[in-house]
Structure 1
Amino acid sequence: MRLIHHARHALLGVIALICAYGTATAQEGLGAFMPHEGATVTTAWANAYGPDAESWMRFANVGPQSFDINYSSSRGTVAVRRIFVSDRMNGRTLVLGYSAKMPLVMSGTTTLGTSAAVLEEQRSSGQASSNLMYNAAMATMPGTFTLVEKSKMSVNLDGNPVDVPVIHANGRFQDGRQSAVGDFYFLDNKNNPMLLQYSVQFKGEKTPRSERYVLVTPSADERAKMEQALAARKAYTTYGIHFDFDKASVQNSSLPLLKQIAIALRNNPLWTLSITGHTDSIGDKSYNLKLSKARAESVKARLVKLGVDPGRLSTAGAGAGQPVATNNTLQGRALNRRVVLERTDR
């Protein structure tokens, strides 16, 4: 059975998601990390199906009792899940991933991390009982989280690193012949104990399932930031253009940003832009150079379809030659996979 394409997890993008118990709504007092309409969380993950892949979670229908996660991944999974505030308070089953086969609502489960009740138990006694749902068939194992240490972890809000307190816990789960053990890093905030990073080894699987938060992008109109940078003749880096895994095809989830780029060019008719694709260092150097160029060409083609004059756009591929982060980690490699826009008019 095909395992779930994980996603979740580092979703700092919802830090302070549930701001209080009782009558609190999902949006009160949240600040920049709240799950407001259009906010997006990017994670990087790896499993037995191959090396680095990416997932994108966009928040929608945020209300007092619930919100939706619109999920897509570079490996082609598309799903929607509804999260209830009551489950974020008291749920005892952590769902490790997404699948289109799973229902919209799974009562008693948590997706973005653990629940406030489980986190409080870890704080007070050093241990907490929890279940782990781990595949598209919704198979579940009972188990325990054991506190290892309290520390800090750097997370990335719209390109800016922020240190947040985390609880590092060891998780052990077993049901019959199936078992799993791993390390989990939860945001140390009882109102929103997000799972920022995990690595879990399942019995019978050669490769651990690992995932790491990469980037949280607030839903504020990106066009204003982009136009401001380009007006000052600064390069503008975007992670909002999503590609299929190891391909140059642009995913439909990128359309909102592509439309904003087209509008920016329409509003500034004298501008011309270069579009440069960048990759991580996994794979052959010449292959990555070719892929990055092809991805830039795909972005240009999409913009032309949106009405941009092709003569105003040039493309280039840098491959892995201009990294902005280490290529030794999931997070670093994901940050190196990007598209850069730069004005070429003089």
Structure 2
Amino acid sequence: MAIEFAADRAVRWGILATGHIAESFATDLALTEGNELAAVGSRSSDSASAFADRHGAARSYGSYSELAADPEVDVIYVATPHSRHLDDVMTCFEAGKAVLCEKALTMNATDTRALVDEARRRELFFAEAMWMRTNPNIRRAVELAADGLLGDLGQVRAELGFVAPPDKARLWDPALGAGALLDIGIYPLTFAHLVLGEPISIVAAGVRSDRGIDVNGGATLTYASGAVASIAWTQVAHSDNRASIAGDRGRIEIPARFHHPTEINHTHDDHTDTIREPVVGRGYAHEIAEVAACLRAGTTESALLPLDDTVAIMEQIDEILRQIGIAER
């Protein structure tokens, strides 16, 4: 369902939930020309009102359904934990709203396919907020690799990790969708997919907590081209958080934290060139601009945030967790 915009009208955003990621998103939204925060919704009216005051939203609501029903909201950013995404996105769809939903899109591929199918059935714009895909330096690295600058690609490496605070329930409680792969392992997995596409095999191993969530793991993915990707993720160790793409004519190295870099390094012929593409704010501004451009163009899917890739990567996540010994959630 296309939304019509006058040339001078801003895209009006609603933000669903008021946690840390919503704060970061709202801060970058204010830096993005042609977009405005119209309303915010929370399960607490006080939290919604305070968030609206901090970020200049005109309206606040004490429920997600009230936000979804606001006729002056064009698109909603869903910022709840991924265990809630299925229900919260569906609430937005039922109100006829376009949606940008925080990653991971859902808890499993079955639910991801259900949301994608529903968005397509209703002809509503929908995308996963994998902001790394829209980062200008990540896009440049992927373009250089695809253009053959590195020759034939042989290896991709990416890892991401941190030490999760023991009192942060979202990262430890299975009922809240906790698990290191869904929370941060999705970034190295997506990076490998951006560069090499769909693997022909995945071999994974990992460690589970006493409550049955994955907290530390790695996987090797192989591709029909002969390339190999090595990825790792953890919420119990300070990993180096770097990534690289290597071919027979050179390599690209992406410094920590690789999923939102401000530069990349291209090494060839024993020489290294540093490439810097400007990043607006913390980097969320680029996915905001992409969604706004799609809405203005009347398209319901983004080429930078493709839904078919979102489904494919969630299928890979399901397979990795199966190999680690975690049943479908």
TM over 0.5: no
The structure whose residues are more often strand, as a share, is 1
Normalised TM-score (structure 1):
0.25
Bigger Rg over Cα: 1
The structure whose residues are more often helix, as a share, is 2
Normalised TM-score (structure 2):
0.26
